[in-house]
């Protein structure tokens, strides 16, 4: 009799477990994903606006990213601003807001081979964050521009991504031509 009772108890608890795991909804899986699909680097010189866009809507796997570059004018000063978006949401989620709010844990790094001079103009209070920049071009030519966002870098640092440590949240490269 005891055995049967225990078997019964186990059976009941089995049912409880099973019913517990049945209360989820089929259709909201994979939603609310923190995904950065798009990096926009908007440059204006007062008259013209150039948007460098790096976009990969289907995530890490799937089809290759699309990269839209622009042509900069030689010997010009631009004001630059970064925007990180998740365009799988509607409306698109602006992840830059979170990065700015946690500016002390984030920093953008800019490196290029196109003779650009980029200066970070915003701070987290003490150290640069790099969402806002000024960019000045030199002579005509071409090269590439790489933008890196580090999470939890050493701050302050020597200004290079390589020595800042942290983990990389964004790393995108644009071909650049200057006329």
Partner 1 sequence: MRKLFIFCAFFSFIYNINAQDCNYTFKGKITDFHDNSIIVGASIQVINLNKFTTSDLEGEFVLNNLCEGKLTLEIKHVACKTKRLVFNLTKDTYKEISLEHHLEKLKEIVVKTNTKTEAASIEKSLKKDVITKFTDKSLGDALNTISGVSSLNTGNSIVKPMIHGLHSSRLLIINNNVRMFDQEWGDEHAPNIDINSSDRIDVVKGANSLRYGSDAVGGLILIRPKKYAIKDSLFGSTTTSLNSNGFGGNINSEIIKTFNSGYYTKLQANYKKFGDFKAPDYYLTNTGLENINASSRVGYNSYEKGFDAYYSFVNNKIGILRSSHIGNVNDLVEAINNREPRIVEDFSYNINFPRQNIFHHLAKVEAFKRFKNLGKLSVQLDAQLNRRKEFDLRRGDLRNRPVIDLQLFTTSIQPNLEINKFDNLKINTGFLIRYQNNNAIVDTGANTLIPDYNKYEVGTYAILDIDINETSEFSAGIRYDYSRIEARKRYVESDWTALNYDVLFPEFDTGAVDGLELLTRPEFTFNNFSTNLGYSKRFGEDYSFLFNYGLAQRMPNPSELFSGGLHHSAARIEIGFLTINKETANNFILSLEKNNENFGFSISPYYKNIDGFIQLIPTGIQTTIRGAFPVWEYNQVNARIFGIDIDINKKLASQFDYKGSLSLLQGDDLTNKNPLIHMPSANFSNSIVYSNNDFHQLKIGINQKTVLQQNRFPDYNFTTLNPATQQQVFVDISSTPPSYTLFGFSTSAVFYPFKKGSMEVGFNIDNLFNISYRENLNRLRYFADDLGRNLNLKIKINY
Which residues sit at the interface with partner 1, rule CB under 8 A? 2-3, 6-7, 9-11, 13-14, 17-18, 21, 24-34, 36-37, 39, 54, 56-65, 88, 95, 98-99, 101-102, 109, 111, 113, 144, 146, 148, 150-152, 160-162, 165-173
CB-nearer residue toward partner 1: 116 or 170: 170
Q: How far is the CB of 22 from partner 1 (least distance, A)?
A: 9
Q: Hey, which residues does 94 pair with through a beta bridge?
A: 85
- Which has the closest alpha carbon to 76: 139, 143, 147? 139
**Nearest 10 degrees: Cα torsion 178, 108, 127, 158:** -80
CB-nearer residue toward partner 1: 38 or 137: 38
CB-nearer residue toward partner 1: 60 or 125: 60
Q: How far is the CB of 72 from partner 1 (least distance, A)?
A: 18
Sign of torsion over alpha carbons 141, 135, 51, 90: positive
Q: Decide: residue 167, CB within 10 A, 0-12 exposed, 13-18 middle, 19+ buried.
A: exposed
3-state secondary structure of 142: strand
Q: How far is the CB of 148 from partner 1 (least distance, A)?
A: 6
Q: How far is the CB of 62 from partner 1 (least distance, A)?
A: 4
Q: How far is the CB of 121 from partner 1 (least distance, A)?
A: 21
Check whether the bond before 28 is cis (ω within 30° of 0): no
CB-nearer residue toward partner 1: 156 or 165: 165
């Amino acid at each position: 009799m005891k055995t049967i009772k225990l078997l019964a108890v186990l059976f009941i608890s089995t049912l409880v477990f099973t019913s517990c795991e049945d209360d989820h909804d089929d259709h909201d899986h994979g939603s609310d994903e923190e995904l950065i699909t798009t990096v926009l680097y908007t440059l204006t010189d007062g008259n013209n606006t150039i948007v460098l866009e790096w976009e990969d809507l289907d995530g890490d796997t799937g089809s290759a990213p699309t990269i839209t570059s622009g042509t900069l004018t030689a010997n010009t000063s631009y004001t630059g601003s970064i925007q990180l978006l998740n365009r799988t949401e509607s409306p698109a989620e602006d992840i830059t807001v979170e990065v700015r709010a946690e500016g002390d844990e984030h920093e953008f790094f800019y490196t290029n081979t196109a003779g650009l001079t980029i200066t970070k103009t915003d701070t987290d209070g003490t150290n640069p964050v790099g969402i806002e920049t000024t960019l000045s071009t030199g002579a005509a030519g071409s090269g590439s521009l790489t933008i890196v966002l580090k999470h939890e870098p050493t701050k302050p640092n020597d200004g290079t991504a390589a020595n800042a440590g942290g983990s990389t949240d964004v790393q995108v490269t644009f071909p650049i031509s200057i006329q």
